[in-house]
Amino acid sequence: MDMEFVDSLIDEIKEILPQLKTPVLELQKKVNNPKYFAQFGQIIDRLFGTCSMLDLHECAAYFGMIKDICYKSRFLDEEDGQKAVLELMKKCIYILGRFKESISTEDKIPALLEEVALALKNAGQIKQDYLHAIRHGSVSIDPNEDIIVIFEKFRKMSDLVMQSEHLMTPTPLFASSLLSFQKKLENPNYKITSVLIDASLDKEIWLPLLEVVRTFRPGIPIGLVSGSPESFKIIDFQKIGVTNVFKYPATFDILQQYAGSILKGEINFAPNESTLPKDPLTDKDDQPLEILDFIEMLASNIHLCVKNPFDIYVKVGNKMLKFSLQNEKMTDEQIQNHKHKNIKTYYVKKMDYDKYLNICKLEVARIISDKSIDLGSKISKTASFGAETYSYIKHCGIDKKTINEANNFVENVSSSLNGILKDNKNLKNPEFIKSFMNDLAGQEHAVSVAMITGLFLESLEAEGSIRDQIILSAFLHDIGLHDANDKVKSENEEEMNDEEKEIFYNHPTKGAALLKDLGLKNVLLEAIERHHMRLDGRGFPRWEKGSVNKVNHIAEVIGLAEELSHWINKASSDKSINPLSMVKKEYFSEKIQKAYIKIFL
């Protein structure tokens, strides 16, 4: 064990022991007093992080259990249960005394840990007997409770919480050191929704905390409190990631109001301070940054630049917060922590999105041309680029510029599939087809349909320029749904209401109309309009009475590719499904059926 941390633990125990005795003495006078249970839990929480850092996991579990029991005991009505918890609190004080005496002596530690293990078991039994039905109030176990992490050195805000008869929401979790603060933010069991920092301290103390938030919980709103908020007037909040600045709270009610404002994403600054900026989330022209001005980018692509040629943002409440500045480079540690936290989405301004797409395009071209990289990786990277391109089209609309970006994606599809088509052994290998479908599972639907179409066209021996135009049509086949809700986009009619069904049935005609003036040939527009139609009269738009049932082969290819795409996605969550056998190939012409069998069966 690191003796520096051990000494820190002993000093902390010495400091909190007298504080812990106060709520115990008050509860001995009147056991039905919730705020003193909360006060004990609040104080004991300070030991949880320190024990974790020392790898004293049994001790950390014990103090976490005591903390959780104390918080839950605020809701206990049964006097026997309250008295049982009070006895646990007394035992905890005794354990802390043993800690102070034994933790620095190596040969005494095993006996101490045995005593802690026994105390932990006893605490667990009390919890089971009296608190098993109480979920509210837990900060150490309940994964669904919102938490605000509050950093302060002098415990003024924690005193406001402990002295109040009301519960604070989100549940406050206090830290008084950088290590403790970081430990709380990196704990995956905490549902941390916001942070509040005492910025009346030296900048050398609180500024590093902002970097910790950016690394472990990027995007969550951060509030600062200070007795002199006017001192912040020279600070660029946009750069340091702060969303709120408040005057130091004088009462619990004000502190609760601050916490609520941060959680809701409301932008607030110290009242009556006209020198402070009105909104930190603004660009250089001081105009508010509206969410509609942004497009999502994948976290997996954030490492592609040596330096970002554009600013990168995260969503905070109903505003956008600049997260990484132009010409900055995110560290590998930050990227890895974001992956660990399952952060998949960043945002870039619409005006900068073509720069982002160009970076993606160059990366895909590099991967496709590298002979040492396997085909699966090339297909996967091409699909990711397609998803980014389609996002751009959905946000910016259909025009010549977005069609040009779509053509760039189509060129990459052709290039990545070219390696497959050069070697017909791939097409006859069931394992390759299975791998190909796995790569498409979960992809943007338009991307999946385009890539299946590209592979399918090999059996039809389509020439290069014609093939690319058909792949483009497949990529844009559902563009008429770009502004529809998720239920309509899922194309599951059973879940749609009448209004949503109407939107769904009209999307092929709408999509063809959107693309009519952008240079697509009539046969391609017809294919987009009829990709849901089948030769036997099924599908939509409905055949006009007395007309000849005719669906061109391009519409059939797109329709069949779309069906296969849907079954691939369903099979990813239900392993009993074989997508290839689920496609109703008998609804298509003989030529299309033969091509499907040649490629996939």
User: Which strand (E) or helix (H) includes residue 195?
Assistant: strand 191-198
Q: Say how far apart CA 335 and CA 328 lie, in whole Å.
A: 13
Q: Say how far apart CA 378 and CA 150 lie, in whole Å.
A: 46
Name the pairing type of β-strands 312-316 and 319-324: antiparallel
**Residue 513 CB burial class (10 angstroms; 0-12, 13-18, ≥19):** middle
**Residue 100 CB burial class (10 angstroms; 0-12, 13-18, ≥19):** middle
Q: Say how far apart CA 301 and CA 295 lie, in whole Å.
A: 14
The dihedrals phi and psi of 320, each to the nearest 5 degrees, come to: -110, 135
Please, are residues 158 and 112 in contact by the beta-carbon 8 Å criterion? no
Name the pairing type of β-strands 294-298 and 345-349: antiparallel
The dihedrals phi and psi of 149, each to the nearest 5 degrees, come to: -90, 125
**Residue 478: strand, helix, or coil:** coil
List, run by run, the mean pLDDT of 10-residue segments along the chain (601 residues): 64 88 92 86 78 75 89 79 93 90 83 91 87 50 73 81 76 80 82 88 80 84 78 58 82 88 62 35 41 72 64 68 66 64 73 81 79 78 83 80 85 75 60 79 87 83 79 92 86 89 92 86 91 87 62 91 91 85 87 84 71
Fold match between domain 1-136 and domain 143-280 = no
The DSSP code sequence of 117-141 is: HHHHHHHHHHHHHHSTT--TT-SSS
Q: Say how far apart CA 145 and CA 165 lie, in whole Å.
A: 20
Give the CATH class of 374-600. mainly alpha
What tokens appear for 388 in the block? 């980014």
Please, are residues 526 and 555 in contact by the beta-carbon 8 Å criterion? yes
* Strand residues in 483-576 grouped as ranges (E): none
What tokens appear for 346 in the block? 């960043």
Chain-centroid distance of CA 377 in Å reads 24
CATH architecture for residues 1-136: Up-down Bundle (1.20)
Q: Say how far apart CA 266 and CA 268 lie, in whole Å.
A: 6
The DSSP code sequence of 290-356 is: -GGGEEEEEGGGTTS-SS-SS-EEEEETTEEEEEE-TT----HHHHHHHHHTT--EEEEEGGGHHHH
What tokens appear for 464 in the block? 């290069």
Q: Which of 488, 485, 382 is nearest to 443 (CA)?
A: 382
Res 173: pLDDT: 83
What tokens appear for 183 in the block? 């430990």
- Domain boundaries, given as residue ranges, for the chain: 1-136, 143-280, 282-367, 374-600
Give the CATH class of 143-280. alpha beta
Give Cβ neighbours of residue 469 (< 8 Å, ≥ 6 apart).
520, 521, 524
pTM for this predicted structure = 0.52
